[in-house]
């Protein structure tokens, strides 16, 4: 399936000079949504996964679907102040700003195998911070999974030594 046909470019969002990859058309079509979920699952199929970490906010769309297909738990990583229980935090930089990500302290047990999923790999700062959070809790990052990879931003450089898979590359 040509998934790229369902991703639109929005120029100058969220600030001038950024071309935002909008996946809303992909999400609006039930057949494409299902095919996308299946294709993302195929990127990790056969691996032992105990938890799937979804990154705030668009990582929350496919991460629970993947967790269900993998018979794994789902763990949300959110921006600072959004989780209600005790957290561990990690600062990060992204294509157009900075922030702090948090995970619940009891979300991952030592030794658990973890798949990290987000919608886009851009500069890699967010994904690298999530990997650090998982490892602070004793989890093992098995793979980083993305719907879209913006290859021209070299996000893979921030994730050296990690297995990275993406459905679409730009």
The one catalytic residue among 58, 78, 102, 112:
58
H or E element at residue 149:
strand 140-149
Q: Could you give the 3-state DSSP secondary structure of residue 48?
A: coil
Q: Could you give the 3-state DSSP secondary structure of residue 129?
A: helix
For 66, 76, 85, the CA distances from 34, given in Å and listed in that order, are: 11, 21, 33
H or E element at residue 65:
helix 59-70
Give catalytic status of residue 78 as yes or no: no
Residues in the chain: 170
The one catalytic residue among 78, 90, 95, 102:
95
Give catalytic status of residue 112 as yes or no: no
* Residues designated as active site: 58, 95
């Amino acid at each position: 399936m040509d998934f790229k046909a369902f991703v639109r470019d929005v120029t100058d969002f969220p600030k001038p000079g950024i071309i935002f990859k909008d996946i809303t058309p992909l999400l609006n079509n039930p057949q494409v949504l299902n095919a996308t979920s299946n294709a993302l699952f195929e990127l990790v199929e056969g691996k032992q996964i105990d938890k799937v970490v979804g990154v705030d906010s668009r990582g929350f769309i496919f991460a629970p679907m993947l967790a269900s297909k993998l018979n794994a738990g789902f763990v949300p990583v959110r921006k600072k102040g959004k989780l209600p229980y005790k957290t561990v935090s990690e600062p990060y930089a992204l294509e157009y700003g900075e922030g702090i990500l948090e995970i619940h302290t009891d979300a991952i047990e030592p030794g658990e195998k973890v798949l990290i999923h987000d919608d886009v790999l851009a500069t890699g700062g967010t994904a690298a911070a999530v990997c650090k959070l998982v490892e602070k809790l004793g989890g093992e990052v098995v793979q980083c999974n993305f719907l879209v990879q913006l290859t021209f931003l070299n996000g893979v450089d921030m994730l050296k030594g990690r297995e990275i898979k993406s459905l679409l590359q730009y």
